[in-house]
Structure 1
């Protein structure tokens, strides 16, 4: 069995922190990425895809919350799948989660660089993305409470900004614009748009990664998730529909900064409001970059603590009580993707990781209901088994669509999984049983302290 650190993560997070982390993780999806779905589906095609994915996320989050509250472990889906399906299940879920978060980080960093370049054309996009990446890794090293407090501040600013955006542009919405060439590729376009619709909500499950740092997790985690999903559904549908009716949507379907460009088209790029919005538009992207770095480092930490990654990645800094080596490795992976891949490729790879992780999580929920009927479940998935079944079916459809329309990135994802599995078996890790304390959060420590 792998040696584990005697240091523990601090339990300091409250529901407001969880709401901020959850919304902050996701809110960049309202600022960019989703608009690329218009290029393959049109406005109505993307709307249909988004409604389907919204249903998937609502049913998924209510189901996933049962797992997170029952097994508040920093490994998230990795811990649930290991407990339900053993070493191989844990490995597949852990690999998918790592891809989900580690690859989402560079996508947000590049968009941040693009927003900054929109404001100041002399600033190169790639170098700006790298600068943001390094800065927020350093910030996350200072401590989770400090990071979460920053998340609350920056997430509130991002939500206010999107509300301001909708208030400014809504009077310019024209239904004729929105319904022009609404489904140029028919129903095939709807399936092609599913991964881009996922980007609206991708990473909300990252709250599970800080489960071991939450005060009274069995009560507070459901509160954080539920308030976050309500916030995000309202923002996603509002931004997508209103933006689609401002101009010819094709002008915005290939950009990494669609919202400031939309305001620029409506008000004029020289208008003061356009510049102000683009400036504060950085807040939403900053919130997501900061939150995703936090979540991805905890996933690396949890898998290293369980012996699935090098043990040094589970080291915790004595002064700040944060997994510093896990943060460094996360930053290195992000930097590689910033330099080597395009935004749409990064999004597709991240979506593949997310959807596979969702599938493994829902399977784990069904298995654990049968396998461990006496497991303490302070939050039960509503309408069981309907909710998790709906989430599982839509996830499978989304996975098939993503693979079909993106064979190159699917090959990279699948090839990586095969390599990881071969190494896992060659090292004999599948024969090593992890102890119970490595698969469930030490709740007793909270009670005793």
Structure 2
């Protein structure tokens, strides 16, 4: 047997008795919705409207279309390889026919990029939570509230996936109902909406595209669903269905909300408010409306942090059980069925990110969001390319979900999504590009200095044994 290889018995004893399948379709859908709503609406709408002005809803449409196209690539590969780690597993198996080394390197990039993006995203969303809490209780500083929510959610996740899933589902339903209500109330209050302003594009189309790059922060978090492949019931069906339905739900909400908010408050006031949706409700439903939406925002940003830390810790777990990352993060708590040390480490990184509030609230969110967007949308481009590679090198595969519109087995829209993902990156702040590309370089060094010789590669057959050949 080759050095570093593992037997099926070793794999079962080390892994298969740990993670628990406690998430049905609704639970998975709620993880996606919860992660998306808190990040995309309640956190970045202020900075985004500062760029796009009244044309905010157009930025939501552009980001939504590109994200929906990319999510088709993820969905097809999820139906083939419904394993913990999502893009980590997809990259490893997709590029393996070209080179096993290339597959492992890109898988490590995906794991590292995902970890960076979601840890930073959790920090940004925690600051969003703190902004709405400060709206209700002005005496509570965001600098105090943001770290506190990060710690509390990390402790919640340590309790196991079943309890977390049920709480997340309850809060996600509240968010969806709240956003539909906010959009409808705002639209009826002023149907003319964004077209009432003399300048529809105050910063030109560049401002719309810059806002798209910020809004892309919201669409990126749907992979949180796919990282739970081994904790999902009937994953080959439920993972793609939950991922796509969650994104469609939220994109529709984003567009009508983006239209509605500038109907009820000026873009300048929205941009300067730490709680822009509460400002909207204060204008159209004075008094109780603003408080109610602030409460909804707290649940939304809280579930978004759950999705971020949940997904990031599972990505770290997936890499660690193959020794691509330190194996200590691959250990599962037998009582809760959760990778406790991976959760704690991710929670610490997210906690550290919240302390960027010392730079100033708006500046901190801008840096965290931009870095997270780079990491995740660069990875989206990789995943679209990965699907094209799979179609060329392994045409015999019969996924339960298939990307539509193919010419000679090539998913044409995946090519469009690749270009769209890279195009969005050109509007990201230079500091985020420096952070992102530096991280890719560090991951490459890590691969050759640490992971390359230690990697206990789990093949597709090994993974079927771990997961019970589902």
Distance in structure 1 (CA, Å) of the matches to 2:235 and 2:254: 27
Change (3 A) 1:90 1:174: same
Please report the TM-score for the alignment, with normalisation by the length of structure 2.
Answer: 0.88
The answer for the alignment partner of 2:361 in structure 1 is none
Partner residue of 1:302 out of 318, 321, 332: 318
Change (3 A) 1:440 1:34: farther
1:253–1:442 distance in 2 versus 1, CA, 3 Å:
farther
What's the CA shift for 1:436? 0.5
2:31 to 10, 21, 28: 21
Task: Give the corresponding residue for 1:366.
Answer: 388
Q: For 2:18, what is the secondary structure of its paired residue?
A: coil
Give the structure 2 partner of residue 387 of structure 1: 413
1: CA distance, partners of 2:416 / 2:332: 39
Instruction: Point out the more displaced range, 254-263 or 165-174.
Output: 165-174
The residue aligned with 2:89 is 79
Change (3 A) 1:429 1:438: farther
Report Cα offsets for 1:228-274 as digits up to 9, x if no partner.
Answer: 12211220011110001112111111433210022223344xx1222
| Cα 1:375–1:298 shift into 2, 3 Å | same
Aligned to 2:76: 66
d(CA) in 2 for partners of 1:26, 1:242 = 19
The one of 142, 165, 187 equivalent to 2:182 is 165
Shift of 1:25: 1.1
1:107 aligns with 2:120: no
Deviations 1:190-209 (CA, angstroms, capped at 9, x unpaired): 33222122123220121110
Sort the Cα spacing of 1:2 and 1:313 in 2 relative to 1 into closer, same or farther, 3 A. farther
Do 1:24 and 1:288's aligned partners in 2 also have CA atoms closer than 8 Å?
A: yes
User: Aligned equivalents of 1:290 and 1:95: distance in 2?
Assistant: 19
More displaced stretch, 315-324 vs 74-83: 74-83
- Deviation for aligned residue 1:346: 0.6
Is 1:200 the counterpart of 2:211? The answer is no
1:256-303 deviations in Å (ceiling 9; x for gaps): 3210022223344xx122223222331211221222221111111111
Deviates more, 1:114-123 or 1:219-228: 219-228
Aligned to 2:155: 138
Contact 2:60–2:258 under 8 Å retained in 1: no
Aligned to 2:49: 38
Aligned length: 441
CA distance in 2, matches of 1:439, 1:364: 21
* Structure 2 counterpart of 1:154: 171
Contact 1:306 1:438 in 2 (8 A): no
Gaps of 5+ in 2: 96-102, 358-363
Q: Does the Cα contact within 8 Å between 1:103 and 1:346 map onto a contact in 2?
A: yes
Q: Is residue 419 of structure 1 aligned with residue 419 of structure 2?
A: no
Select 1:398's aligned residue among 424, 439, 443.
424
Q: 1:63 to 1:437 in 2, by over 3 A?
A: closer
Query: Distance in 1 between the 2:226 and 2:122 partners?
Result: 17
> In the alignment, is the contact (CA less than 8 A) between 1:36 and 1:255 conserved in 2?
no
Is 1:55 paired with 2:72?
Answer: no
Identify the residue that residue 205 of structure 2 maps to in structure 1.
187
8 Å contact from structure 2 (residues 194, 259) kept in 1: no
Is 2:287 the counterpart of 1:290?
A: no
- 8 Å contact kept, 1:173–1:243: no
Report the TM-score when normalising by structure 1.
0.92
Cα distance change on mapping 1:119 and 1:178 into 2, 3 Å: farther
Contact 2:221/2:307, CA 8 A, preserved across alignment: no
CA distance in 2, matches of 1:446, 1:173: 55
The 1:439/1:350 distance shift into structure 2, 3 A limit, reads farther
C-alpha distance in structure 2 between counterparts of 1:77 and 1:97, whole Å:
9
Indicate the RMSD between aligned Cα atoms, in angstroms: 2.1
- 2:21 counterpart (7, 11, 15): 11
Q: In the alignment, what sits opposite 1:216?
A: 234
